[in-house]
Structure 1
């Protein structure tokens, strides 16, 4: 890929997603279950923060001082606007990794996070980051790292090369005619995806020996184009095995602590009995994790690594687990006792999960010790409770809760950031998460719900008033889009009728608002 093509991909804005694994509070349950001491996270850093949704939510939602960088100027500017809106102390830069990692004014960090970028950067940048981690991560500090991995990506490697070559040069063009190569990047990406689908439509031999691949290729046509640009068409793209990553991070003095994906801690939904028995015989961490990746055909790893970890005694571990707090984040009746793991969908036993959810139905922060006391008579052991809570957090039914001092510190910053995000909802739906000062994490909030909250901030008290406010905003925005000749897909977006909007507002008031108030958002 030429420098010009690489720059055109780099210039495409990434999505406005949120990554909960970058919340330092989330590392508590996995590390404690691994028997490892927890760091007290006062300083944290996110490398490659994209539009900065996650880093801003985590900076506003806790007392942690955040730093970070993203080399895309548009990303960095958007992220800094959110910082200004929240009046957050976060320090976010628009620098390359080589510039940021060599700064002499950065503190040492208790937590460093990277989501996805490890797979999309060159070897020299990975080496630079490893050295940065070696120097700047404190003893006992934690690294969160997610990356595309083998064997789950193996079959897609030739497909990616096929699409990228089509992106670089249209084989249907006449000799010397580079018109398609000069076409807008999104159009060329779409054409490359269509070409890959056309190849698979011929039922090539590669598809016959990889029968699930055609569906995966076909799904690319429905994916966000900005995501596709960075995931499949960037110059650097390196799915790695666990052993390759471990080899790099050991140079920074890091030890693998466990998966940041809470579902990974429940073997029953991911591994057959035979697979569990096999893994139990493997003492070596690298071999065991590599074997596990084969068992679940993993394509994305989300991992925690610790620098100079300290092991807890069983009593210390259990005391810390019992003191951990969670809160029910959904209506009790809305929690579906189904979860999807590597083995498919599993139905969770009501006899175990029902009493736990009942103990949390008040929607207040509750310690695992309090839950244990409430469910003991139902025959639920503490070990079962810990696993069940872990799984319920992975499902989004429960949220981890931070201590009261951090909650108090986070309330004013969270309120300002949420108000700014809801104000942006007047003009679009880019950011669909608000911050809870209770959990210090992002809560999914679609545009209409944000407009209802914005109406409340404007002192409109009744659901009918919220509905009228939201409908007026959406109609005005649709008119502006049409006047500005926005893409047809945006122009054709329908605005709910008045009756539908009132029904939405009433449901929001009755079902969702009480929980948002419990989470400190409303």
Structure 2
């Protein structure tokens, strides 16, 4: 650990990842679902606290020229990388600030502009109390009345089963006096696997432990070190988070996960009967946390709650298909089973989405005889990843095309190992999740022409060093992408 890091891992960069939950278009759908009046506008100022390497900030800024997007992070290496990407892509409305919120005075906080939205993804659980207090001071002083706040954090009781695993990682890493934090985390894995095989009573086989001990799923050592080696790692109960945020006057809106806001797909009849007896707020959320497999919560708050009719708000939302729709209804796994639509409901909805963007209200009106519930239809379409918000009917911009190309070129090696990549879309006002190879294909200059390019030419270009069977497999993958994806890339202003 470096001396200035307050016990947090700072000797290696965090993973390069786009966080779709932070996109204002996604959060607007959650607000509509919960009957809260909030929509993104053409002019907004947004701050991402703990922005890491700045991918989400830069993607949002590239997709929204009227927004000012600020990334704050205590790690100068993160800030330098994020600012460099913004400069190379000429994303002039992205600003990055090296900031230690434990040390910032009120006067320094007040130098920031007033904020329409603040996001924190993977910050609260990993920082010391002085940093948490600084976050609350910033929210209290700079988040506008009516402004939105998204917080993603490790939650109790869901993450409680991994508290022993985190302590084990720290003990084992301490046995390695030399090496970087990722190297120490990686060195701990053989011992953890051996202990896992012995089935210790108080090291339960959680999803995280199963992933670490699986030969098929290779977790990035940098991710593990940032997740588990910080000295201040503390999952929290929802109600304790609310108590900490009270000075900022934040009201809870709902979860950024669609189905987690729909009691009918969360609770069994017996659980629902108990839920209905509890008052709205922390008691009901605690019951949901007992029922759901939810080690990581993604909560949405607003500073000044204004109610609106949720059905009318949802019906106004414009959606567009972002991937090929199946013939039969998609299925979404929910705690009580599987959510899906009958064929007579799904077929007219799918046919309309294949024609182009549609309002949720029109989609609900198409089936004959019964109109699907607005929240449940959004849960199905959004939860299965088949639609995104269609916020602007525009084509690609020079900034988004340049940004997407530079990301593809700069992070090719990381992309081939995996990661959460996205293409900046001016239509969705955010990113469209993709694999690195999808991004690499979409940014090729031939994609701007009237004819689709030769997949063999594209594969040879984006996969240098591949030959024989490997290159043939790559060519077949590119050919498949060229059959399925360009129509969606055009619809969302990618090409």
Return the TM-score normalized by structure 1.
Answer: 0.84
Matched, 1:81 2:76: no
- Residue of structure 2 aligned with 1:443, choices 432, 436, 439: 432
Please name the residue that 1:512 is paired with.
Answer: 485
- Residue of structure 2 aligned with 1:401, choices 390, 393, 398: 390
Does structure 1 retain, via aligned residues, the 8 Å contact 2:102–2:134?
A: yes
Please name the residue that 1:72 is paired with.
Answer: 75
Distance in 2 between residues matched to 1:164 and 1:413, nearest whole Å: 43
Please name the residue that 2:95 is paired with.
Answer: 91
Q: 1:114: Cα distance to partner?
A: 0.3
Q: 1:18: Cα distance to partner?
A: 1.2
Distance in 2 between residues matched to 1:148 and 1:342, nearest whole Å: 20
Please name the residue that 1:328 is paired with.
Answer: 321
Judging changes above 3 Å, is the alpha-carbon distance between structure 1 residues 191 and 34 closer, same or farther for their aligned structure 2 residues? same
Judging changes above 3 Å, is the alpha-carbon distance between structure 1 residues 386 and 192 closer, same or farther for their aligned structure 2 residues? same
User: Where do 1:209-228 residues align within 5 Å?
Assistant: 210=204, 212=206, 215=210, 218-219=213-214, 222-228=218-224
C-alpha distance after superposition, 1:229-252 (max 9, x if no partner): 111111210100011101011121
- Residue of structure 1 aligned with 2:254, choices 254, 258, 281: 258
- Residue of structure 2 aligned with 1:125, choices 102, 110, 131: 131
Q: 1:342: Cα distance to partner?
A: 3.5
Judging changes above 3 Å, is the alpha-carbon distance between structure 1 residues 507 and 211 closer, same or farther for their aligned structure 2 residues? closer
Distance in 2 between residues matched to 1:248 and 1:472, nearest whole Å: 52
The number of aligned residues is: 484
Point out the more displaced range, 235-244 or 342-351: 342-351
Distance in 1 between residues matched to 2:431 and 2:20, nearest whole Å: 7
* SS of match in other structure, 1:65: strand
Structure 2 gaps, min length 5: none
Does structure 2 retain, via aligned residues, the 8 Å contact 1:353–1:388?
A: no
Distance in 1 between residues matched to 2:8 and 2:250, nearest whole Å: 35
Distance in 1 between residues matched to 2:494 and 2:104, nearest whole Å: 33
Judging changes above 3 Å, is the alpha-carbon distance between structure 1 residues 304 and 457 closer, same or farther for their aligned structure 2 residues? same
Q: 1:98: Cα distance to partner?
A: 4.1
Point out the more displaced range, 97-106 or 277-286: 97-106
Please name the residue that 2:202 is paired with.
Answer: 206
C-alpha distance after superposition, 1:33-66 (max 9, x if no partner): 3222115551111001111111111111123211
* SS of match in other structure, 1:258: strand
* SS of match in other structure, 2:404: helix
Distance in 2 between residues matched to 1:495 and 1:442, nearest whole Å: 34
Q: 1:9: Cα distance to partner?
A: 2.6
- Residue of structure 2 aligned with 1:307, choices 303, 309, 323: 303
Matched, 1:424 2:415: no
User: Where do 1:116-515 residues align within 5 Å?
Assistant: 116-169=122-175, 180-207=176-203, 210=204, 212=206, 215=210, 218-219=213-214, 222-312=218-308, 314=309, 317-333=310-326, 337-343=330-336, 346-362=339-355, 364-375=356-367, 377-381=368-372, 384-404=373-393, 407=394, 411-424=397-410, 429=415, 432-456=421-445, 465-476=454-465, 497=470, 499-515=472-488
Judging changes above 3 Å, is the alpha-carbon distance between structure 1 residues 188 and 13 closer, same or farther for their aligned structure 2 residues? same
Please name the residue that 1:33 is paired with.
Answer: 33
Distance in 1 between residues matched to 2:443 and 2:127, nearest whole Å: 39
Q: 1:2: Cα distance to partner?
A: 8.5
Q: 1:471: Cα distance to partner?
A: 1.2
**Which has the larger share of helix?**
1
C-alpha distance after superposition, 1:171-208 (max 9, x if no partner): xxxxxxxxx4124433321222222222222222324x
* SS of match in other structure, 1:435: strand
* SS of match in other structure, 2:248: coil
Return the TM-score normalized by structure 2.
Answer: 0.89
Please name the residue that 2:494 is paired with.
Answer: 521
* SS of match in other structure, 1:361: helix
* SS of match in other structure, 2:279: coil
Distance in 2 between residues matched to 1:457 and 1:267, nearest whole Å: 48
Please name the residue that 1:55 is paired with.
Answer: 57
Q: 1:352: Cα distance to partner?
A: 3.0
Point out the more displaced range, 64-73 or 286-295: 64-73
Q: 1:460: Cα distance to partner?
A: 7.3
Does structure 2 retain, via aligned residues, the 8 Å contact 1:86–1:414?
A: no
Judging changes above 3 Å, is the alpha-carbon distance between structure 1 residues 212 and 434 closer, same or farther for their aligned structure 2 residues? closer
Structure 1 gaps, min length 5: 170-179, 479-493
Aligned-pair Cα RMSD in Å: 2.9
